[in-house]
Amino acid sequence: MKRINRWYPGITMVGLLCLLTLAGLVYSADQAPAAAQQGTQPSSRATFDFDRYTKNKPFKLNTLPTTRYGPPWADIVEKPTNMLACDGKGTPIALCYYSGPGPTTPCTLDGRGIANCTCYEIPSGHPYLVDINAILNRDVYLRTVAKCGKDGSNCRPTGSIEAPVCEAINNNTLIPGADLISTFSLYLEKQIPISMTSCATPAAYAGCMTAPCKRTGKIDPKTRLPLVQCGCPTFTGPYQVGTATDQCVLRGKHVWSAANNVWSPSPTPTPGR
């Protein structure tokens, strides 16, 4: 129970923003019965692609409306169980939670439905969280839902099973061509405290959860962490950002890395260790 309670502070927001080839029932991305079982509606149309990462490698973008509030790249959290806990063994992840205006970790619109967000590389061996509604690989989303349930409640931290998406991220097979994947972690909370700001007026934001990232070779002198660049799809709607700010809409081509937590109004997390 102590482990479960530790995770709940982080599940109020996931601005940011993960294929198992094994385990559970294998659902084809083209199987209509699988989509029907989840109660999903017809697919959403994407205005972007990940060709710059995947090139000719097999990949199916998840365009299923995983919630009624928007497509996977809207990064919607409907309830605490949506946030799946992964142990982080064997792989680093990208943390885009603090990205937006810069100067260290800006998110800049590219004009093709993607925000290029500079994010922190979190070393392997540290736990992280994945929003089940924001899995951008369609095949692994269907496998994860088949094993964890639509809301994720059968998998950790509330259940005893590790979600298939965790293995996909740990094996670096979620999005072909990516060096690492963007998820959520409390790794930097002591250095950069979390302070939630709710932005109720719909605007464009970067949905970085499970987005593909590339290493830049640069190091942030403050945190001493490597900096990576992630291709985060954009969505327009209400959202929350993980820092105290009076500027919900940034200037120029900058946007926040954000998410939309709809299960409680403007919660303020109190992360602990």
One digit per residue, the tens of pLDDT, for the chain of length 273 reads 333 334 434 443 333 333 222 222 222 222 223 333 333 344 568 889 999 999 989 999 999 999 999 999 999 999 999 999 999 888 999 999 999 998 999 999 999 999 999 999 999 999 999 999 999 999 999 999 999 999 999 999 999 999 999 999 999 999 999 999 999 999 999 999 998 899 999 999 999 999 999 999 999 999 999 999 999 999 999 999 999 999 999 999 999 999 999 975 444 333 322
In a domain, 75, yes or no: yes
- 95, 99, 105, 109 alpha-carbon torsion, rounded to 10°: 120
pLDDT value of position 256: 98
* Structural domains counted in the chain: 1
In a domain, 189, yes or no: yes
pLDDT value of position 111: 92
In a domain, 42, yes or no: yes
In a domain, 95, yes or no: yes
In a domain, 272, yes or no: no
Q: Residue 175 is part of which domain span?
A: 2-261
In a domain, 185, yes or no: yes
In a domain, 268, yes or no: no
In a domain, 266, yes or no: no
